[in-house]
Amino acid sequence: MTRVQRNGRRIRGFRELPERKEIDFLYAEADGVFFRGIEKKKSHKVSYAILYEGWDRNGKWVSLRNPMAIMTTKPIADFWKVVTNSDGGAGYTAEKFQENFSQTEYPVLNQLDAYHVFQGLNRAFEAGKSEYKDELRKALKDHDLDYFNLWIDTYESTLDDTKRIEKVRAFRSYILNNWERILDWRECVDNPPEDARSLGAEESNQRHITYRMKKRGMHWSSEGAEAMVKLKQGKLNGTYKIIVHQAMPFTQ
């Protein structure tokens, strides 16, 4: 067993909980990322979430307040046992957030991640500026479904390439299936914090995984992958040093 696997197991078994406290807002963002396994044509998936209480500003820099990362390669049902902004992918739907935060007495809002919306827009309409993209952004911002359909129908009518038409239709389906989640949470709550920002911390959280596990042609076993994501989780949450020091013999 490697050192990564040993320390990953220790962090996985770390059960120290912070003192309970009451907060006005809790933000939760979740997504998943795939990477290659050691078996041919087999991949693994890391489910990850970031929970935080708001934002702290230091000059031009903004950081998350009391962030906590949750990462695992275990099945999505196990992931939700331990953990809301997401891309709407399988396992990260509004229903999942509602179900797993159902014990709160406060409303649970779930919005579609803006980064994934505009990533899909660029995929369907290609990079660069265009009137169609500008008007569709306006329709999404104003939450105007008729205006959205008008402009996407108009654009599709100009196409004769089957693949491009398929991309546009896929984008339309993605938006329509998640239409009720296209919102800005700050406009849906009474008295949002003065320093309230848009959501989207999940993408920077994802980079902690992809930079370490998807570069340089890496392949991972199931056990090695779970151990590595737990090490990354421990470092982000400040529990890594605690666990490692507990496992080391005391020296003068």
At residue 30, does pLDDT exceed 50? yes
* pLDDT band at residue 14 under the 50/70/90 scheme: very low
Q: What pLDDT sits at residue 11? A: 45
* pLDDT band at residue 131 under the 50/70/90 scheme: very high
Q: What pLDDT sits at residue 225? A: 86
Q: Choose the weakest-confidence range: 72-86, 106-120, 168-182, 222-236.
A: 72-86
Q: What pLDDT sits at residue 252? A: 40
Q: What pLDDT sits at residue 164? A: 93
Range picked from 53-57, 80-84, 149-153, 242-246 for highest mean pLDDT: 149-153
Q: What pLDDT sits at residue 94? A: 55
At residue 198, does pLDDT exceed 70? yes
Task: Pick 242 or 170 by higher pLDDT.
Answer: 170
Q: What pLDDT sits at residue 60? A: 85
3-state per-residue secondary structure call for the chain: CCHHHHHHHHHHCCCCCCCCCCCCCCEEEEEEEEEEECCCCCEEEEEEEEEECCEEEECCEEEECCCEEEEECCCHHHHHHHCCEECCCCCCCHHHHHHHCCCCCCCCCCEECHHHHHHHHHHHHCCCCCHHHHHHHHHHHHCCHHHHHHHHHHHHHCCCCHHHHHHHHHHHHHHHHCHHHCCCHHHCCCCCCCCCCCCCHHHHHHHHHHHHHCCCCCCECHHHHHHHHHHHHHHHHCCHHHHHHHHCCCCC
> pLDDT above 70 covers what percent of the chain?
71
Q: For 58-113, what is each residue's pLDDT tens digit?
A: 888 888 888 888 888 888 777 665 555 545 555 555 565 555 555 555 556 777 88
* pLDDT band at residue 16 under the 50/70/90 scheme: low
For the chain, what is the mean pLDDT? 77
In this prediction, residues 197-201 reach a mean pLDDT of 72
At residue 170, does pLDDT exceed 50? yes
Task: Pick 151 or 118 by higher pLDDT.
Answer: 151
